[in-house]
Amino acid sequence: MSSNTLRHLAIIMDGNGRWAKERGLKRTKGHEVGAESIRDITTYCAAHESIETATFYAFSTENWKRPKFEVEFLMKLLDKYLKNELKTYQEHGICFQTIGDMSGFSKPLQKRIKQTQELTKDNTNLTQILALNYGGRAEITMAVNDLIKQGKSEVTEEEISQALQTPYTDIDVLIRTSGEERLSNFLLWQLSYAEFYFTKTLWPDFSSEELDKILKSFTQRNRRFGGL
């Protein structure tokens, strides 16, 4: 397998609010259209010859600081998204998973998340991971604390990797939309050797066509993983 085989794609979906503002719309409309972009990109990944996992940064631990009405809207949108997407998951063989602290969500939303995971667990074309109430530092801290509880006084990188919520594979490609160029506390451990792509396209306008161009560029990059 070449070093440029793409198995795990991660995306920081940024720009929903700006997309709506540019059109004189409410921020909530940007989030609605952004949810449609997730479907487009996810189904593209499910059909891709090598992508096994696609992780989307959907709601960070810092997003609770947003106005209450916007947070409530995002919770309702997530519930609606999972309800509507179940058919897409089944048709395209997509297994739905999450990372983050689900305890912060309402009981009905937690139930929806668990039901969707259960109903799609046998699908094998793609694992779609939504990072919800997620922070990279919190994930690493939790992993180390879990190892301490197991009686470890010293830990290895491999043990930390296995204790993380995302022990699937390291990230091969990270994409962030909207022109911002920072990680925002996303998958800090798993991104050690990822290739980064920053696009000025706002998330609701990000398409599978643009993703295809980025992935073609990825195959031309020289990934050395610290070597020559």
- List, by residue number, the catalytic residues: 14, 63
Total number of residues shown for the chain: 228
Q: Quote the tokens at residue 8.
A: 């795990």
Query: Who's near 193: CB < 8 A, 6+ residues apart?
Result: 170, 223, 225, 226
| Pairwise CA distance, residues 74 & 42, whole Å | 19
Long-range contacts (CB closer than 8 Å, 24 or more residues apart) made by 111-116: 112/79, 112/82, 112/83, 113/82, 116/82, 116/85, 116/86, 116/89
